[in-house]
Amino acid sequence: MALGEGAAGSILPQSLQTRLKRIAVILTAALVAIFVTIPVYIMVAIAVQSPADVFRGGTVHLIVDTLTFRNFRVLLEDTNTVQYFINSLIVTAGATTMSTALAVAAGYGLTRFEFTGKTLAARAVLFAYMFSPIVLAIPLYVIFYSLGLLDSYFALTMALTAISAPFTIWLMWQYFQTVPISLEESAWIRGASRTRTLWDVVLPVARPGYISAAIFSFAVAWNDFTMARVVMSSDEMYTITVGASLFLDRVTIGWGETMAVSLLISIPPFLIAVFLQNYLLQGFNVGGLE
C-alpha cells in the first residue's frame, strides 16, 4: 500500500483534517476525564465521609465538608483488612513478575527461533481461555488439594501466572516481531553473547511491550477472586477481594466501609498506573540505529 494513494480522506483539505483531528483529540480527552473521574470521585467522597453525612436528607452528598477516617478505622479495628492486603500484594507481585518474565523469554523465543508447530502451539494456548472458568473451580481445588498445595502463596502465585501468561506471551511474541533483528545482529557481530544481547539490546527496546504485559498480569492477579477462593481456605491467607467479600456482607458493615475498602484496594492500581505509564510512553527510541 503506497502512501499518497487517492483515498476518501484526501477529499478534505489537509488543513481541515488537522483541525478536525485537534478537535477530536480535545473532545475525547474531555469525555474520558469525566467518564473516569466521576465514578472514582464518588468512591473517594463516600469513603472519607461518615455514612450519616453521605445520606443525610435522603440524597447522596458528594461534596465532602466533614472529612472522617471513621470508615477506615472500622476496617483496621474490626477486620483483617491489613492481612488480606498484604497477602494480595505478595501474590500479585509474584505473579506479575513471573508472568512478565515468562512472557519476555517465551515471546523472544517464539519470535527468534523456528521450531515445528510453533504457531500451532501458540494458538493452542489461547484455547484455554475459551473454557468457562466457573466450572474449573472444582477441578482446580481437587488438584491443589491432591498436591497438598492448598493455602500457600506459591500455589496461588503459580495459578495466577498461568492465567495471565498465555496472553502476555502472545503480546510479547507480537511485540518482538516489530523489533528489527538487525539490532541484535549488529550486537552479535560485535561479539556479544545471545543472553547479553537480550539483556542489553532487546529488553530496552521491548520496554513498552513488557510494561503492557506487566499491567495486564497485575490486573489479572489483583482482580482475582476465583483462584484465591479455590486455593486459600483460612482467614489469614485470603486476599483482599475474598476477604472483603467476607466482611462486606456483615450486618454491621455499610456503604462507608465498603467504599473505604474499595479505596484501599484502588491504591496499588493507582500507583501502578502512575509509575508504569511513564515507561509505557518511553517510545520508539531506537529508530536511528537502524
Partner 1 sequence: MSTVQSVKSSFGKLDERRLLLLATFVPFAAFFTLVWVIPIGYALGMSLFQNPTADAVFVGLSNYVEILTGEEFLLFLWNSVLYAVSTTVLSLLVGLSLALVVNQKIRGGNVLRTMMIFPYLLPTLVVIFIWKFILDPNIGVLNQWLVEWGVIAEPIAFFSTIQWAMAAVAVTSVWKFGSFAFFILLARLQAIDPNLYERARVEGASTWQAFRDITIPHLRGAILIILLVRGIWMFNKFDIIYLSTRGGPLNATTTLPIRVYELAFNGPNFGGATALAGIMFFLLAGVAVVYFKVFEPEKEVAH
Partner 2 sequence: MGDSGEGSQDTTQSDGSDDSDTSDDSSGGDTSDTITYLSDRGDSKEIIDQIIAEFEDEYDYTVEVTYTSKGTSTDEQLEKMRAAGNPPDIIFDTSSDAYRYQRDGDAAPVSDAVQGTGLPDPVNVDGESYFAPTMVEPLMGWYRNDLYDENPTTWETWQSEAQRVTEEEDIDGYVVQTGQTNNADTSITQYHWQNDVQIYSGPSDDIQVTIDDDDNRAAAVETYEWIQSMAESAPNGAGWEWGDGISALQQENAAAAMSVGGLPILTIQANRPDLVEKLTPTAFPVPDGKGQDKWWAYMEGHVVWNSGSATEGAKQFVDFFSKSDKFMDFVLSAPLFQFPPTREGLDSDAVQNNETIQQHPEVMDLVRDNWDSFTSILATGDDGAPNIVAADAYGQQVMGQSAEQMIVGGLSPDETVDWVADELRSLQD
Which partner, partner 2, partner 1, none, binds residue 65 by CB below 5 to 8 Å per kind? Answer: none
Q: Is 42 in the site for partner 2 (CB under 8 A)?
A: no
Q: Which residues contact 135 (CB under 8 A, 6 or more apart)?
A: none
Distance of closest approach, residue 196 Cβ to partner 1, in angstroms: 10
Choose the contact partner of 70 out of partner 2, partner 1, none; CB within 5 to 8 A by kind. Answer: none
Comparing CB distances to partner 2, the nearer of 52 and 273 is 52
Matching residue, cell 508472568: 99
Q: 285, 284, 150: which is closest to 228 by C-alpha?
A: 150
Q: Does 116 bind partner 1 (CB under 8 A)?
A: yes
The residue whose grid cell reads 481445588 is 141
Q: Are 157 and 101 in contact (CB under 8 A)?
A: no
CA distance linking residue 61 with residue 48, whole number of Å = 12
Instruction: Say if residue 169 is exposed, middle or buried (CB neighbours under 10 Å; 0-12, 13-18, 19+).
Output: buried
Interaction between residue 138 and partner 2 (CB under 8 A): yes
Q: Which is nearer to partner 2, 106 or 237 (CB)?
A: 237
Question: Could you say which of partner 2, partner 1, none residue 262 binds, taking C-beta under 5 to 8 angstroms by partner kind?
Answer: partner 1
Stretch that binds partner 1, among 33-41, 65-73, 76-84 (CB under 8 A): 33-41
CB of 231 to partner 2, least distance (A): 11
Other Cβ atoms closer than 10 A to 3: 4
C-alpha 135/C-alpha 51 separation (Å) is 38
Among 24, 31, 32, 52, binds partner 2 (CB under 8 A): 52
| Contacts of residue 64, Cβ cutoff 8 Å, sequence gap at least 6 | 45, 48, 49
Name the one range near partner 2 by CB under 8 A: 19-27, 120-128, 169-177, 225-233: 225-233
If one asks whether residue 68 binds partner 2 (CB under 8 A), the answer comes out as: no
Kindly identify the residues of this chain, within the stretch 226-255, that bind partner 1 according to CB under 8 A. 241, 244-245, 255
Q: Give the count of alpha carbons within 13 A of 228, CB side only.
A: 28
Q: Give 101: exposed, middle or buried? Use CB within 10 Å, 0-12, 13-18, 19+.
A: middle
d(Cα 187, Cα 198) in Å, to the nearest integer? 10
| Only segment of 85-93, 95-103, 142-150, 195-203 that touches partner 2 (CB under 8 A) | 142-150
* Residue of 69, 145, 154, 225 interacting with partner 1 (CB under 8 A): 225
Span from 30-38, 89-97, 170-178, 252-260 in contact with partner 2 (CB under 8 A): 252-260
